Chains A and B, each alone.
Chain A
Amino acid sequence: MKKLIKLTVNDREVEAAVEPNLTLTDFLRYELNLTGTKKGCETGDCGACTVILDGIPVNSCLVLAVQANGRKVETIEGLATEEGLHPVQDAFVEHGAIQCGFCSPGMIMSAKHLLDKNPKPDEGEIRAAIAGNLCRCTGYQKIIDAIKSV
């Protein structure tokens, strides 16, 4: 039976009736067309589906849409403003920290959360913060350089 949920996605109130077995990733991608959040392993290993839920980065593939009821979700689409890209996105572009780009949305969300908490992280802290985001192109060094430069 569908359940009615109300949540805030990128500062926008969203109301929808969803099946209980719909994951937050699928809800964002297929119901709200926010396809920036990627589906990778779908088992919480790769971090491609990282979103920020109530201020904490999580694997949205392991969260049910109904669990996000009443909560605040930030996705990659919510970072850029009318003034331009978010500084983390700018840094990724500047440093070429993108190869195939599939891990980038998750990586950027994890990096944004780290920089919100700790504006000047050292390399160890950066590596620890993005440990849950896998880059199969193995372009980690440029990603770390980009985050350091923000």
Chain B
Amino acid sequence: MLLPKFDFHEPTSVDEACEILATFGPKAKVLAGGTDLMVNLKKKILAPENLVCLSRIDSLHGIVEEKDQIVIGGRYTVAELTVDPLVEKKLGALRSGARALGSPLVRNRATIAGNIGSARPAADLPPSLIAYGATVILVSSQGKREVPLGDFFKGPGFTELRPEEVLTEVRVPVPTAGQAPATSTWACARPRIATWSMWPPILPWTRRTGPSKPHGLSWGRWARHPCGPAGPKRHWLVRSRTRRSFSRPEKRPARTASPLMTSGAQPAIARPWWGF
């Protein structure tokens, strides 16, 4: 499989990358890990005239805890997420998603920004990140903006990201006491779905946990159930009052959540697969 011809740019800073993107606009594509973009180039789905590779921008690589947020650089690889002690300790659901992504060889190249920015329906990281209430920082030569990940996706392959912007970091609020992240595959209920990378992480608030109410989402006995490919916008969010029995989601999460999930899914896509 031959790659189409393109010019290759390797900026060493975010500013330089933004300048290049501002110059070429939609004729340029950002190359992060390449596990998705390279395949699309080979299959002739995309044919940009310019590729802007982020691999020499050191400031995009790293993870740091800042106050009540964990800031993950866009170039942080999925393999690094699976072994990072900070992720293991505080963002267990994200780690589960990362461990489920592709093969070890793909995880070694794939980046968090690429997994989000490509907006593939079966992406493994966004569901848990939406559950955590994560935001993404989009930088262009005009400035930077912060977008909640729940609003970032517009449809398969379509996002808030403009052609001249770079997704530089993902900010994840650290779960507080009383928040219980959990992930679940639908393998429990429908084995066929498991092959479809369905990851509905569940992040319920079992008690009123004080003032934290990130991005207007639920609290008290409300829960967030972002889900993988289950509708045209692919990451929908169900805000539903849960039963008391749901207060311990780590116990059979798929079973307790399934009625809520199915009622919120888009029937046109979800029902033939789920069989409900």
Q: A interface vs B, CB < 8 Å?
A: 1, 3, 19-23, 42-45, 47, 50, 56-59, 61-64, 66-67, 110, 128-129, 131-133
A57–B104 touching, CB < 8 Å: yes
**Across the interface, do B105 and A64 meet the contact criterion of CB distance under 8 Å?**
no
Contact of B105 among A3, A22, A58 (CB under 8 A): A58
Could you tell me if B108 and A58 are in contact, using CB atoms closer than 8 angstroms? yes
Asked if A129 and B104 sit within 8 Å, CB to CB, the answer is yes
Chain B residues with a Cβ under 8 A of chain A: 1-8, 10, 34-35, 38-39, 42-43, 51, 53, 55, 79, 102-106, 108-109
Given contacts A56-B108, A63-B109, whether A20 and B6 have CB atoms under 8 Å apart is yes
From B43, B51, B79, contact of A20 by CB (8 A): B51
Contact of A44 among B2, B4, B6, B39 (CB under 8 A): B39
**Residues of chain A contacted by B35 (CB below 8 angstroms):** 44, 59, 62
Nearest residue (CB) in B for A128 is B104
A45-B103, A66-B53 given. 18 additional CB < 8 A pairs?
A: A1-B7, A19-B5, A20-B8, A21-B3, A22-B3, A23-B3, A43-B39, A43-B43, A44-B102, A44-B109, A47-B103, A56-B108, A59-B109, A62-B38, A64-B34, A66-B10, A67-B55, A131-B103
Q: Is the CB of B104 within 8 A of A63?
A: no
Residue of A nearest to B40 (CB): A43
B2 near A21 with CB under 8 A, answer: yes
Q: How far is the CB of A42 from chain B (nearest CB, A)?
A: 5
Q: Are A57 and B2 in contact (CB under 8 A)?
A: no
